[in-house]
Chain A
Amino acid sequence: MTDKSADRVARFVDDLLRGRRPRRFSASQEEAEAMKVAASLVSARTGADLPDKAALDRIHSKLSAALDESPTVERRFTRRVMLRTFGTAAAAVVVGVALDEVVTRQGKSPGAGGSPSTVLMPDAGAWRPVAAVTQLPAGHAITVSTGSVDAVIVNDGGAISAVSGVCTHLGCKLQPDEASQKLNCPCHQTAFGFSGKVLYYRLKTAPANLPQIPSRVNDGQIELFVV
């Protein structure tokens, strides 16, 4: 029994170490306990438990397909159900309400966390170098100030972008949290994603998303279009 168990667990471990989805089988309690420890040991290798960008993109697109295209109101109150239950007049009223709700939901999404992002485009702006590209490795964010504008520059897998470094609620300076890819407001525990979108807030109403700041890379320098 031990030999067979050892073989089955060894095959499971081989699959994990080769990055494959393990073959399924009916495990004894002892085997399952060993397999769970094996899974946790595989996770201990540095960075092994972090998802790659392609995986995140796939999860996001499946959620987006399911959640953006099927408003709850439409699914809950179909016209047929209302006709059967309450008659034509009630159905007409409810369909009207449902459509209104759908329009409202679509109007709010995806910028429901405040107004959609705006672009900060100063009248007398110019491209100004603010940091060397080498100062900003992938996955990192730095704060810079041009005197007039505080900004956070982000390197998201090689794509460099910039957003305002000031919270849209009351103007506190945001603090990048690279580990969780957030910009935290130190004043009211509001957080923005590196894209400038509101992640969460502790306010009665959602603050606006952070304005985008035009950015480019020129001759090894990151430049922002600012005053």
Chain B
Amino acid sequence: MLALTELHVVREPDPDKFREAETATYPDWESVYQDNVVGIYQLAFRRVGNAADAEDLAEDVLMQTLKTLRLPAPVHNVRSYLVKTARTVLADHWRRHYAAKDAATELEQLPQGALIAPPSTDASERAARLLALLPEHFSRILELRFLRGFTVREAADELGVTESNARVMQFRALRKAAELEMEVLS
């Protein structure tokens, strides 16, 4: 009986060792790259909407992070640093190329969990929810343009309006969607 008790005591986890074991580690820059490059690219793409900028931004984020970090390093530290760097890099992109100070400030508030990118289907569901909240004529033009790939001219024909009106409608629809995104979805 005594032996069993001793055995039980020996197997009790040492709280310090347990905490230490909770920290997963990246051994080198290749590991950081392999485990995060797709997530960072997606994070960037969702905020710039095109592959060329997303590629440049993902490279910037990784380069700045990896040149600064000393590895091996805990996974959560590295990811936290990657998100901090991504905030700065994305905000700087909007400031430099579009002089968009408010958009940049908002990007600086990216949540810490942003790097755990949801699968693409989540982005589709989010878009579908957003379109469903818009008035019919606004959701219709955004659906034609973004989901069905219509040109402005084709969308205008489909909706029975002039091209100029279709462009204005698209702009107002995007503005309304931005408001709704802030109010309802965030």
Question: Complex formed: what's the CA distance from A20 to B63 in Å?
Answer: 24
Write out the residue numbers on chain A whose beta carbons fall within 8 Å of the beta carbon of B170. Answer: 6, 9-10, 13
Q: Are B50 and A19 in contact (CB under 8 A)?
A: yes
Which residues from 1 to 39 on chain A have a C-beta closer than 8 Å to any C-beta of chain B? 2-3, 5-7, 9-10, 13-17, 19-22, 24-27, 29-39
The contact size tier of chain B is: 35 or more
The contact size tier of chain A is: 35 or more
- Is residue A84 contacting chain B, with contact meaning CB distance below 8 A? no
Complex interface: stretch among B7-15, B19-27, B80-88: B19-27
For the complex formed, measure the closest distance between the CB of A4 and the CB atoms of chain B, giving whole angstroms: 10
Write out the residue numbers on chain A whose beta carbons fall within 8 Å of the beta carbon of B97. Answer: 24
- Is residue B159 contacting chain A, with contact meaning CB distance below 8 A? no
Majority SS of interface residues in chain B?
helix
Q: Which residue of A lies closest to B150 (CB)?
A: A17
For the complex formed, measure the closest distance between the CB of B86 and the CB atoms of chain A, giving whole angstroms: 14
Write out the residue numbers on chain A whose beta carbons fall within 8 Å of the beta carbon of B31. Answer: 113, 193, 197-200
Q: Are B50 and A20 in contact (CB under 8 A)?
A: yes
| Cβ 8 A contact of B28, one of A6, A20, A27, A109 | A109
- Is residue A41 contacting chain B, with contact meaning CB distance below 8 A? yes
Q: Which residue of B lies closest to A52 (CB)?
A: B51
For the complex formed, measure the closest distance between the CB of A134 and the CB atoms of chain B, giving whole angstroms: 25
For the complex formed, measure the closest distance between the CB of A221 and the CB atoms of chain B, giving whole angstroms: 29
Question: Complex formed: what's the CA distance from A19 to B50 in Å?
Answer: 6
For the complex formed, measure the closest distance between the CB of A209 and the CB atoms of chain B, giving whole angstroms: 10
Q: Are B175 and A30 in contact (CB under 8 A)?
A: yes
For the complex formed, measure the closest distance between the CB of A36 and the CB atoms of chain B, giving whole angstroms: 6
Q: Which residue of B lies closest to A15 (CB)?
A: B50
Question: Complex formed: what's the CA distance from A189 to B25 in Å?
Answer: 10
- Is residue A206 contacting chain B, with contact meaning CB distance below 8 A? yes
Other than the given A19-B51, A49-B123, A67-B67, 8 more pairs (CB < 8 A) read A6-B171, A24-B97, A29-B100, A35-B98, A38-B146, A39-B50, A41-B142, A198-B31
- Between A and B, 23 residue pairs with Cβ closer than 8 Å are A6-B170, A13-B170, A21-B50, A26-B99, A29-B100, A35-B98, A36-B178, A40-B46, A41-B49, A44-B124, A44-B127, A45-B124, A47-B120, A56-B41, A66-B63, A66-B67, A67-B66, A179-B119, A180-B38, A189-B24, A193-B31, A193-B35, A206-B27
- B residues in contact (CB < 8 Å) with A: 20-31, 33-35, 37-38, 41-42, 45-55, 58-59, 62-63, 66-67, 70-72, 75, 94, 97-103, 117, 119-121, 123-124, 126-128, 130, 142, 145-147, 149, 151-152, 164, 167-168, 170-172, 174-175, 177-178, 181
